[in-house]
Structure 1
Amino acid sequence: MYHILIVDDEKKLRDGIAALYDWNNLGFQVDACLENGKLAIDYILHHPVDVVLCDIRMPVLDGIAFAKYIYDHKLPTKVVFLSGYSDFELAQKAIRYQVTDYILKPTTYMEIFTVFNKIRESLDRENQQADRPDTHNESTSPVIPYIKRYVSENIATVSLNRIALELNLTPNYLSKLFREQMNITFTEYLILEKMDYACKLLQNANFKVYEVALMCGYDNPKNFVKTFRQTIGCTPQEYRKGKMKC
Structure 2
Amino acid sequence: MYKLLIVDDEVTIRTSLANYFPWEQIGFEVVGICADGKEAIDFIENNQVDVLLSDIMMPNVTGIELAKYIYEKKLKIKVVMISAHSEFDYARASMRYGVRYYVLKPTKYEELNQVFSEVHMECDMENIEECEEDLNIIERIKKYIDENYEDVSLETISELFHLNLYYISRLFKMKTNMNFSDYLTQVRMEKAKVMLATTEQLISEICIRVGYTDPRSFSKAFKKHTGVTAREYKVSKSYVK
Where in structure 1 are there 5+ consecutive unaligned residues?
150-173, 183-246
Q: 1:47, CA displacement in angstroms?
A: 1.3
Match of 1:71 in 2: 71
Aligned to 1:146, which of 159, 162, 166? 166
The residue identity in structure 1 corresponding to 2:104 is L
Number of residue equivalences: 155
Structure 1 or 2, whichever has the larger Rg, is: 2
Identity of aligned residues (%): 41
The residue identity in structure 2 corresponding to 1:146 is Y
Distance 1:92 1:133, change over 3 A: closer
Q: Deviations over 1:87-121 (max 9, x none)?
A: 11110111111112111101111101110100100
Distance 1:53 1:181, change over 3 A: farther
State whether structure 2 residue 56 is matched by structure 1 residue 56: yes
What is the DSSP-based 3-state SS (H/G/I as helix, E as strand, rest coil) of the residue aligned with 1:5?
Answer: strand
The residue identity in structure 2 corresponding to 1:117 is S
What is the DSSP-based 3-state SS (H/G/I as helix, E as strand, rest coil) of the residue aligned with 1:117?
Answer: helix
The higher-RCO structure (CA 8 Å, 6+ apart) is 1
State whether structure 2 residue 81 is matched by structure 1 residue 81: yes
Where in structure 2 are there 5+ consecutive unaligned residues?
143-153, 180-241
Query: C-alpha distance in 1, partners of 2:53/2:114?
Result: 14
Query: C-alpha distance in 1, partners of 2:124/2:85?
Result: 31
Match of 1:12 in 2: 12
What is the DSSP-based 3-state SS (H/G/I as helix, E as strand, rest coil) of the residue aligned with 1:58?
Answer: coil
The residue identity in structure 2 corresponding to 1:4 is L
State whether structure 2 residue 96 is matched by structure 1 residue 96: yes
Q: 1:146, CA displacement in angstroms?
A: 2.4
Q: Deviations over 1:214-239 (max 9, x none)?
A: xxxxxxxxxxxxxxxxxxxxxxxxxx
Q: Deviations over 1:14-43 (max 9, x none)?
A: 010011111001110000100010111111
Q: 1:147, CA displacement in angstroms?
A: 4.8
Distance 1:39 1:134, change over 3 A: same
Match of 1:117 in 2: 117
Of 128-137 and 88-97, deviating more is 128-137
What is the DSSP-based 3-state SS (H/G/I as helix, E as strand, rest coil) of the residue aligned with 1:45?
Answer: helix
Match of 1:33 in 2: 33
What is the DSSP-based 3-state SS (H/G/I as helix, E as strand, rest coil) of the residue aligned with 2:99?
Answer: coil
What is the DSSP-based 3-state SS (H/G/I as helix, E as strand, rest coil) of the residue aligned with 2:46?
Answer: coil
Query: C-alpha distance in 2, partners of 1:147/1:45?
Result: 20
Q: Deviations over 1:57-100 (max 9, x none)?
A: 11110111111111122111111111122211110111111112
Query: C-alpha distance in 2, partners of 1:80/1:145?
Result: 35
Query: C-alpha distance in 2, partners of 1:132/1:113?
Result: 29
The residue identity in structure 2 corresponding to 1:49 is V
The residue identity in structure 1 corresponding to 2:166 is Y
Structure 1 stretches of 4+ with a deviation exceeding 2 A read 133-138, 140-149
State whether structure 2 residue 44 is matched by structure 1 residue 44: yes
Distance 1:110 1:144, change over 3 A: farther
Distance 1:144 1:71, change over 3 A: closer
- TM-score, normalised by the number of residues in structure 1: 0.56
After TM superposition, the structure 1 = structure 2 runs for residues 168-179 of structure 1, keeping only pairs within 5 Å, are: none
What is the DSSP-based 3-state SS (H/G/I as helix, E as strand, rest coil) of the residue aligned with 1:90?
Answer: helix
Query: C-alpha distance in 2, partners of 1:134/1:93?
Result: 35
